[in-house]
Chain A
Amino acid sequence: MSYCKQEGKDRIIFATKEDHEAPSDAELIEDDPNDPYEDPGLILPNGDINWNCPCLGGMASGPCGQQFKDAFSCFHYSKEEVKGSNCVENFRSMQECMQKYPELYPNENDNDSAPSGGADNAPTESTSADSLPTFSPDSTPAATENPAAS
């Protein structure tokens, strides 16, 4: 049985599990997916890659940032049957650059293969996930997920 008490200006409610299982009738405002103020996640409304997405960590801003951007733009817009197969050169130069900075880009073997999956898949997939957190320093949520949207 949920109950509540009042301590001065503060109200305290103790809610049971059953009480909270009932659907909420609180109303939330519907989000506009094209809201220009919102952080857009990895893909911008116009289809471009959001290089400033926190999900990319520091990949687009580091010393190999330009190569990274070239490689993944190429992949993103690739219309080949095997997506990204026309981008081998870009990925190779990216890999070359990354080998020059082993401290920043460890496990360079994982960066070999082009990320599989669709364009929406953030390039931080499970194989390279280990390498990324070591140089993605933000310990903070600057949203990749739009509130209540995704």
Chain B
Amino acid sequence: MFKCKTVWNKLAPLARASSTLCLQNARKSALRHGRRLEMVQKAQMSSGPAGGGGENTLYYVLIGATCLGTGVYAYRTVSGDKERYNERMIEIGSRPKQGPQAAEAVAKVVTESKEEPVAEEPTLTEPPAEEPLVTEAVVESTETEPAAEAPVTEPIVEASIPEPTVENTIREPVVEASVTEPVAEAPAVAQSEEPLAPVVESEPTPVIIAECVPEASSVSESGKTADSKAAPAAEPVEPTAAPSDVPEHAPYLLIGGGTASFAAARSIRARDPGARVLIVTEESDLPYMRPPLSKELWFSDDPKVIETLRFKQWNGKERSIYFQPPSFYVSPADLAKVENGGVAVLTGRKVVHMDVRGNKVTLSDGAEISYEKCLIATGGVPRNLQVIDRAGEEVMKRTTLFRKIEDFRSLEKISREVKSITIIGGGFLGSELACALGRRSTDVGLEVIQMFPEKGNMGKVLPEYLSNWTTEKVRKEGVSVITDALVKNVTYKNDKLEIKLKDGRLFKTDHIVAAVGLEPSMELAKSAGLEVDSDFGGYRVNAELQARSNIWVAGDAACFYDINLGRRRVEHHDHAVVSGRLAGENMTGASKPYWHQSMFWSDLGPDVGYEAIGIVDSSLPTVGVFAKATAKDTPKAATEQSGTGIRSESETEAVAGALTAETTATPPPIQQEEDYGKGVIFYLRDQVVVGIVLWNVFNRMPIARKIIKDGEQHADLNEVAKLFNIHED
């Protein structure tokens, strides 16, 4: 049907244009050349191009226009019928399903249907034979013929709808087909016709309709989608998922259930009173924060931490990684009705198709949700090494791609069972996991190896001298760090994984954790027609995080324009929060660009911790200003001092003026032999500071943010460093 329609859409203007044109031509030629008309007819006889010429064309155009005109009219009537038919179907489907005892329903339907046919006037003159695609339409139009017929239609349709799932896709076309038959027959014979019709017409029509249907939606389960298009309320889908569970419409639809999505939901609810927000997530968990999965949760004393996912912070305060407990959310089914709106989370569902023109999305189970504003916050999936991908199932079974709660649970279990774990990757995640596992290594007799191609931990982030210093610290945590390591292949041999490096070194281990980056999830780009960035990956959005009029993207998947730092894509937690909040604000009409610079942080054990902001790339020239560190300058001390849990929390929900720096106890001074105890490192691009790392120096992020925002060229960065008071607590 849609193919037909698209083709028609293209032809229609042409048809109109040509009909106008030929009318004009006709008049002109009639007026100017009276006798010319005769010549036109004669010209028609001659088939040569020279002889025919303009008149020939004119004639063809006239005939063509007439045919097309008729076609337009016919099609319009027919497609109008389809809409009416669909509406009727919806109405029928929404009535309680009866199954085989359609008899009572039939009686009801007959009385109700009496109103319908009067309104529906087919007045179709064209023979239904022309195109297969028109058959369906014709079929429908014959349904709507005079009152006598209608009861024939309705009961058949009615009976078919309640029937079980798989059947239905064939049933409905059959039903439609069967209708062409009983045009002349009496309504009383309604029920009995059903068995006849399928025998005769079951083949052609379902095929035709099945062809048309996939055009309509590019969802793999086309049958189910057809149904959902024709009668959304009928939803003859799996018995497991209650169809009423999925709302048909969500004013605010957030695709993805991670940090960015939750931040947006909160922002929308704060700014739009009574907003109804629907989060659709593939995961089975409610929105949660990711950083503790590789840090705090590993340091917890609680043996039940794997189930509760609660962690005790340095100051003893406990919290869950979930942003909110389940009671915060409303159920998706109630979302439309609850008085003051709310946030609903639809778990275990993936959005597989996005119709931007129609403002709706299709889920993996075929359900459709229409929206007014949509946020794409799909994040990404961990990358894997090609050598592991190709290494076979035994190797894959013993490899963890760490990202979600289930990965944490599985790795935690594995860490207590195996003798050796190797982490491939020297960035944030790899180093944090290495330190976390290294901590355990002494308790449980676990060998922890970390290998990566760079020269030191965080080699792509920290300048070399600092990266080396960090690597030493990681080694002190009990990790065997292998630098300059390029993995050539991985094999499973004698119940062990053998990792062979390019330079020949061989390592035997029980389990591998691959922390080699994130691949942004871009699956909706194609169906939605959204631009994808080739440099950074991710959906390309503007400075206000907007991809199209009603579509925003936030979090790991967004490649956005940062007014201060240029186009970039950021994969940090705080960025997800900041961009999610901003997207939420813009979805409620704020029109603000990305301005508040997000930060990130990392703790590598109790001695090494840093916060950073902006573009922190070790390939940039850097200027580092250091002071000697005392025992007070560690992440642990920072949290104790500010009386909050997670170190960076002290910067966020802090009440104005509530933070007072009080040291509750003076820790014993530790002899600091290292040179790089604490300090601040500036990353420069064209002599402008674009990134800052605060090394073991905390609660100074606002100043760092200010310097980046200013974007000034400073002659002496030591002077700028003074602003941070690095010698003080």
Residues of A within 8 A of B714 (CB): 26-27
CB pair A138 B577 closer than 8 Å: yes
CB pair B319 A133 closer than 8 Å: yes
> A13-B623, A133-B317, A140-B598 are contacts. A28–B653 as well, Cβ < 8 Å?
no
The interface bits of chain A over 52-84 (1 if a CB of B lies within 8 angstroms of the residue's CB, else 0) are 101111101111011001000000000000000
Chain B residues with a Cβ closer than 8 Å to the other chain, count = 83
The residues in B between 298 and 333 inclusive whose CB is less than 8 angstroms from any CB of A are 317, 319, 322-325, 327-328, 330
Task: State A31–B596 Cα separation when bound (angstroms).
Answer: 13
Q: Tell me how far the C-beta of A8 lies from the nearest C-beta in chain B, rounded to whole angstroms.
A: 7
> A37-B595, A142-B596 are contacts. A125–B655 as well, Cβ < 8 Å?
yes
CB pair B324 A137 closer than 8 Å: yes
Task: State A22–B718 Cα separation when bound (angstroms).
Answer: 11
CB pair B270 A61 closer than 8 Å: yes
Q: Tell me how far the C-beta of A129 lies from the nearest C-beta in chain B, rounded to whole angstroms.
A: 8
Main secondary structure of the interface of A (DSSP, over half): loop
Residues of A within 8 A of B719 (CB): 24-26
CB pair A54 B626 closer than 8 Å: no
Residues of B within 8 A of A132 (CB): 653
CB pair B577 A142 closer than 8 Å: yes
CB pair B710 A29 closer than 8 Å: yes
Q: Does A1 contact B (CB under 8 A)?
A: no
Residues of B within 8 A of A24 (CB): 719-720, 722-723
Contact of B623 among A11, A51, A63 (CB under 8 A): A11
CB pair A60 B622 closer than 8 Å: no
Chain A residues with a Cβ closer than 8 Å to the other chain, count = 71
Residues of B within 8 A of A144 (CB): 652-656
Residues of B within 8 A of A61 (CB): 265-270, 343
Task: State A117–B109 Cα separation when bound (angstroms).
Answer: 67
Q: Does B696 contact A (CB under 8 A)?
A: no
Q: Does B3 contact A (CB under 8 A)?
A: no
> A2-B718, A61-B270, A66-B274 are contacts. A147–B595 as well, Cβ < 8 Å?
no
Task: State A52–B589 Cα separation when bound (angstroms).
Answer: 13
> A58-B328, A137-B289, A140-B578 are contacts. A147–B654 as well, Cβ < 8 Å?
no
Which of B274, B578, B585 is most buried by chain A, counting CB atoms within 10 A of its CB? B578
Task: State A51–B715 Cα separation when bound (angstroms).
Answer: 41
Residues of B within 8 A of A104 (CB): 324-325, 327-328
The interface bits of chain A over 12-31 (1 if a CB of B lies within 8 angstroms of the residue's CB, else 0) are 11111101101111111101
Residues of B within 8 A of A124 (CB): 653, 655
CB pair B721 A9 closer than 8 Å: no
Across the interface, name the chain B residue whose C-beta is closest to A147. B706
CB pair B621 A9 closer than 8 Å: yes
Task: State A53–B198 Cα separation when bound (angstroms).
Answer: 63
Which candidate, B69-77, B356-364, B643-651, is the interface stretch facing chain A?
B643-651
The residues in B between 227 and 256 inclusive whose CB is less than 8 angstroms from any CB of A are none
Contact of A54 among B330, B585, B652, B701 (CB under 8 A): B652
Contact of B727 among A13, A17, A58, A134 (CB under 8 A): A17
CB pair B621 A139 closer than 8 Å: no
Task: State A26–B581 Cα separation when bound (angstroms).
Answer: 32
Q: Tell me how far the C-beta of A76 lies from the nearest C-beta in chain B, rounded to whole angstroms.
A: 15
Task: State A41–B658 Cα separation when bound (angstroms).
Answer: 14
Q: Does B593 contact A (CB under 8 A)?
A: yes
CB pair A134 B624 closer than 8 Å: no
Task: State A121–B656 Cα separation when bound (angstroms).
Answer: 8
Contact of A140 among B574, B624, B655, B726 (CB under 8 A): B574
Across the interface, name the chain B residue whose C-beta is closest to A58. B266
Task: State A10–B262 Cα separation when bound (angstroms).
Answer: 40
CB pair A141 B627 closer than 8 Å: no
Q: Does B349 contact A (CB under 8 A)?
A: no
Q: Does B525 contact A (CB under 8 A)?
A: no
Across the interface, name the chain A residue whose C-beta is closest to B275. A61
CB pair B710 A57 closer than 8 Å: no
Q: Does B276 contact A (CB under 8 A)?
A: no
Q: Tell me how far the C-beta of A110 lies from the nearest C-beta in chain B, rounded to whole angstroms.
A: 14
> A38-B596, A148-B706 are contacts. A141–B465 as well, Cβ < 8 Å?
no
CB pair B464 A8 closer than 8 Å: yes
Task: State A120–B317 Cα separation when bound (angstroms).
Answer: 27
CB pair A55 B710 closer than 8 Å: no
CB pair B653 A11 closer than 8 Å: no
The residues in B between 589 and 609 inclusive whose CB is less than 8 angstroms from any CB of A are 592-593, 595-596, 598-599
Across the interface, name the chain B residue whose C-beta is closest to A120. B656
Q: Tell me how far the C-beta of A78 lies from the nearest C-beta in chain B, rounded to whole angstroms.
A: 20
Cβ contacts A to B, 14 pairs, < 8 Å: A7-B465, A11-B623, A13-B625, A22-B722, A28-B706, A58-B323, A63-B340, A134-B319, A135-B324, A138-B649, A139-B291, A139-B649, A141-B574, A144-B654
Query: 5 tightest CB-CB pairs across the interface, nearest first?
Result: A141-B651, A61-B269, A147-B706, A140-B574, A24-B722
Q: Taking beta carbons and an 8 Å cutoff, which residues of B are in contact with A?
A: 262-263, 265-271, 273-274, 289, 291, 317, 319, 322-325, 327-328, 330, 340, 342-343, 463-465, 573-574, 577-578, 581, 584-585, 592-593, 595-596, 598-599, 620-627, 644-646, 648-649, 651-656, 658, 675, 701-703, 705-707, 709-710, 712, 714, 716-723, 725-727
